[in-house]
Amino acid sequence: MRVGFDAKRAFANKTGLGNYTRFVLDALQTNEKAQTYFAYTPKNKAKLFTAFPENNIRLPQTFLDKKLSAYWRYASITHQLKADKIDVFHGLSNELPQGLQQAGIKSVVTIHDLIFERLPHLFKPVDRLIYRHKFQSACRRADSVIAISEQTKRDLVQLYHVDDKKIQVVYQDCNPIFKQRGEQDKIEEIKQLYNIQGPYILCVGTLEERKNQHRLVEAFANVAGNDFQLVLVGKPTSYTPRILECIQKFNLEEKVKILHNVPTEDLPALYQAAEIFAYISIYEGFGIPILEALHSGTPVLAAKGSCLEEAGGPGGLYADPYQKEDISHQLNKLITDAALRKQLVEAGKQHISRFSGENIARQLVDLYQNLR
């Protein structure tokens, strides 16, 4: 079977959809070698995915397609797929090109989340209209829809009225570097690099309203009498001043540290050295940072209400992301009870086996084969 992928993100995006696309292609190449996989991308200049066989990377061929790469991905790519005798095409980032059914090519689309529908005030109206059109069109035309969590599946059924029999939940895993235990000397070196001393709570994610870091700071301020620090790692945005205001309001300048521009290669050490990982995002499609924490042997405090309980399972405690008292209560449990933290770590190790590349590759190939 010959499977094609919209792989633009794998070759262009360092995080998010890029990580997902690279994970899927790597898992299939490693674990399901009986099939042939082709990655279609407008460009391959960033060298973000050198592990994929160069002979199976497909770029626009005509002068017009190279100049109008967005249109190539939207429509004219279908001619190339037909020439390459693709049996199944998988859109890995919420969209599909036109004309697949007419070309006799089966189609799958992965829908990551409908955050723009659940939290519309965080998105520009024109962006919501574009996303809605792309997502609804892809779901309507696809032979099968993959949701990356049960939460996303529920959203697709409830908001877009997609037939639940058409949707299959297939999870994902995190970057393999989080599965490798670092040397203690190296971990200490990274802590010193960022001037982190003593036990700490780690939070990793873009500093934005949806991630809810200001409420985490407020909750942390309510947990009295501990020697923990709170370390926030993430890209700054216009929301960052709100976090800084909270830090100043509660006189936490010596207790809360914000780190920007932390290289990915430094993150495993920061996760592994943390006593607790906190991720109280208001809404997510899945929650990769939680898997990063569980692979690192770090217990989790996460938010109720979206998909984070799916990601963390028994490896964490959960709180209402809008209730700082609830967050404080659960945080205090983790800070004061080392035995509980150890128990959650052990439970988390069992839970994350379901997200392995081997399991997910098998699910995907079964899905592709059942479409033919």
In order of their start, the domains of the chain are: 2-173+356-371 (3.40.50.2000), 177-352 (3.40.50.2000)
The pLDDT value given to residue 313: 93
pLDDT over threshold 90, residue 274? yes
pLDDT confidence bin for 13, thresholds 50/70/90 = confident
pLDDT class for 184, splitting at 50, 70, 90? very high
pLDDT above 80 (res 46): no
- Report the C-alpha gap between 24 and 177 in whole angstroms: 16
Q: What is the 3-state secondary structure (H, E, C) of the chain?
A: CEEEEECHHHHHCCCCHHHHHHHHHHHHHHHCCCCEEEEECCCCCCCCCCCCCHHHEECCCCHHHHHCHHHHHHHHHHHHHHHCCCCEEEECCCCCCCCCCCCCCEEEEEECCCHHHHCHHHCCHHHHHHHHHHHHHHHHHCCEEEECCHHHHHHHHHHHCCCHHHEEECCCCCCHHHHCCCCHHHHHHHHHHCCCCCCEEEEECCCCHHHCHHHHHHHHHCCCCCCCEEEEECCCCCCHHHHHHHHHHCCCCCCEEEECCCCHHHHHHHHHHCCEEEECCCCCCCCHHHHHHHHCCCCEEEECCCCHHHHHHHHEEEECCCCHHHHHHHHHHHHHCHHHHHHHHHHHHHHHHHHCHHHHHHHHHHHHHHHC
Mean pLDDT of 46-75: 91
Mean per-residue pLDDT for 105-121? 96
Task: State how far the Cα of 177 lies from the Cα of 39, in Å rounded to an integer.
Answer: 23
For 198-229, how does the pLDDT look when each residue is reduced to its tens digit (9 = 90+)?
Answer: 999 999 999 999 999 999 999 999 997 789 99
Q: What is the pLDDT of residue 88?
A: 98
- Give the whole-number percent of the chain exceeding pLDDT 70: 100
- How high is the pLDDT of residue 354? 87
Distance CA 324, CA 363 (A): 39
Task: Provide mean pLDDT across the span 346-361.
Answer: 92
The predicted pLDDT at position 353 comes to: 87
**Residue 187: its pLDDT value, please?**
95
Q: What is the pLDDT of residue 141?
A: 97
